[in-house]
Amino acid sequence: MLVAGGTDVYPNMKRRQFEPTVLVGLTGIRELRGIRGSAREGMTIGAGTILATVARHPEVVGHYGALATAAGLVSSPQLRNMATLGGNVCVDTRCNYYNQSYEWRKAIGFCMKKDGDICLVAPGSPRCWAVSSSDTAPVLWSLGARVRLVSAAGERTVGMDALYRDDGIEYLARRQDEVLTDILLPPVDGWKSAYLKLRRRGSFDFPVLGVAVAVRLDGAVVRDARIVLGAVASRPRAATEAAAALVGERLAPELIARVAGLAAGPSKPLDNTDFTHPYRKKMTRVFVARALRGIAGLGDGARSVEEVA
Ligand SMILES: Cc1cc2nc3c(=O)[nH]c(=O)nc-3n(C[C@H](O)[C@H](O)[C@H](O)COP(=O)(O)OP(=O)(O)OC[C@H]3O[C@@H](n4cnc5c(N)ncnc54)[C@H](O)[C@@H]3O)c2cc1C
Ligand code: SF4
């Protein structure tokens, strides 16, 4: 198993969710670190770049604002100084029945993601519904990012939609022998972006809803748009109908309310993370509206995180 910052791998090993016989450390590979390029020509972020660097890089902050926001909201300051962007893109899916100690899981009965053969959330289901819980994944998707995967056999670049699979266990289309080396951001070309995260604790917590919105404006008119939801399924989920409804229109309050309603359609969270799933679905509508208002410069949209005590 590959390990970068280890902030997900090592806790999972302690709980025996991961039991690799061999760990291959990536930290020593200098070529995996660093941010190159510019917003005008597109940027390349090495997979081994730590999240703290991504969150404060001037070109990222200034032109790919949602990515800086998302990177800066992952876990805690200490972890962001170890954790890498590549590790965040590849981070394991989560579930209340899985992110527990070995003894807890043994007592309740193992599930098919590790050591068992049924799903405890949906016992009749042939698949695992663990939740994609990366903050940066929906943002990178909304920005039109691609990732470079390298193996001894060669290299390929794939879009975020092709990287993620709708399965809680096999959630990545990355082959076992492939290393994710770079995240490629397209030229900014008029796009503006926002990311909002729902979590219980303000200090640190995984997202139980992430809303990434990117809009390409021509004056006041929307030329293109992407809305991608995190933590509502085993992969980030694009709200394509909602995004299409923005194109050719001005970002006015009535349109924002209609689009937010459409975006809640594909938000189908299951009851296997924090908060109730009807609440998380309802908050999708609220967050999409808030993100669009932020991009349009209207009202309360600037808030980037919802913290619930
Ligand atoms: C207390 C706590 C809170 C957390 N909160 C959040 C949060 O709010 N949001 C969030 O998104 N995450 C959170 N995390 C998870 C984790 O810290 C982050 O996702 C982090 O970005 C993972 O990066 P890493 O470099 O440490 O990955 P690692 O732990 O090293 O690896 C994670 C996975 O990615 C694979 N991998 C890593 N690098 C590569 C590569 N270059 N090529 C191919 N595969 C690779 C590993 O094999 C492993 O499967 C939290 C973790 C903890 C312990
Ligand atoms: S969704 Fe089901 S199989 Fe997957 S981790 Fe949760 S309980 Fe286990």
Instruction: Indicate which residue's Cα is closest to atom 8 of ligand 1.
Output: 206
Task: Report the pLDDT value the prediction gives residue 269, as an integer from 0 to 100.
Answer: 87
| pTM score | 0.96
168 Cα nearest atom in ligand 2? 4
- DSSP assignment letter at 17: S
Task: Report the pLDDT value the prediction gives residue 300, as an integer from 0 to 100.
Answer: 61
pLDDT tens, position by position, 245-295: 999 999 999 999 999 999 999 888 888 999 999 999 999 999 999 999 999
Is residue 233 within 6 Å of ligand 2 at its C-beta? no
Instruction: Please tell me the distance between residue 85's alpha carbon and the centre of ligand 1 in angstroms.
Output: 8
Task: Tell me the best of 27, 91, 133, 178 to mutate to test the pocket of ligand 1, counting ligand atoms within 8 Å of each CB and taking the most.
Answer: 91
Task: Report the pLDDT value the prediction gives residue 308, as an integer from 0 to 100.
Answer: 39
Between β-strands 191-199 and 305-307, what pairing exists: parallel, antiparallel or unpaired?
parallel
Between β-strands 209-218 and 154-159, what pairing exists: parallel, antiparallel or unpaired?
unpaired
- Cross-strand bridge partners of residue 230: 210
Task: Report the pLDDT value the prediction gives residue 124, as an integer from 0 to 100.
Answer: 93
Q: Which ligand minimizes its atom distance to the CA of 127?
A: 2
Q: Which ligand minimizes its atom distance to the CA of 87?
A: 1
76 Cα nearest atom in ligand 1? 3
Task: Report the pLDDT value the prediction gives residue 301, as an integer from 0 to 100.
Answer: 54
CA-closest candidate to residue 270, choices 172, 197, 166: 166
Instruction: Please tell me the distance between residue 116's alpha carbon and the centre of ligand 2 in angstroms.
Output: 10
CA-closest candidate to residue 204, choices 101, 105, 76: 76
In single-letter form, the type of residue at position 269 comes to: P
Instruction: Please tell me the distance between residue 300's alpha carbon and the centre of ligand 1 in angstroms.
Output: 31
Is residue 128 within 6 Å of ligand 2 at its C-beta? yes
Between β-strands 154-159 and 146-151, what pairing exists: parallel, antiparallel or unpaired?
antiparallel
Q: Which ligand minimizes its atom distance to the CA of 94?
A: 2
Instruction: Please tell me the distance between residue 138's alpha carbon and the centre of ligand 1 in angstroms.
Output: 15
Residue 291, C-beta contacts closer than 8 angstroms, at least 6 positions apart: 194, 195, 196, 211, 212, 213, 301
Is residue 204 within 6 Å of ligand 1 at its C-beta? yes
Angstrom distance (rounded) from CA 55 to CA 285: 26
Instruction: Indicate which residue's Cα is closest to atom 4 of ligand 1.
Output: 75
Angstrom distance (rounded) from CA 154 to CA 292: 40
If residue 105 lies in a helix (H) or strand (E), which one and from where to where?
Answer: helix 102-108
Angstrom distance (rounded) from CA 186 to CA 189: 8
SS (H, E, C) 230-287: ECCCCCCEECHHHHHHHCCCECCHHHHHHHHHHHCCCCCCCCCCCCCHHHHHHHHHHH
- Cross-strand bridge partners of residue 94: 131
Is residue 270 within 6 Å of ligand 2 at its C-beta? no
Instruction: Please tell me the distance between residue 252's alpha carbon and the centre of ligand 1 in angstroms.
Output: 38
What are the tokens at 168? 């809680």
Stretches where the chain sits below pLDDT 70 are 299-309
Ramachandran angles phi, psi of 94, nearest 5° = -130, 155
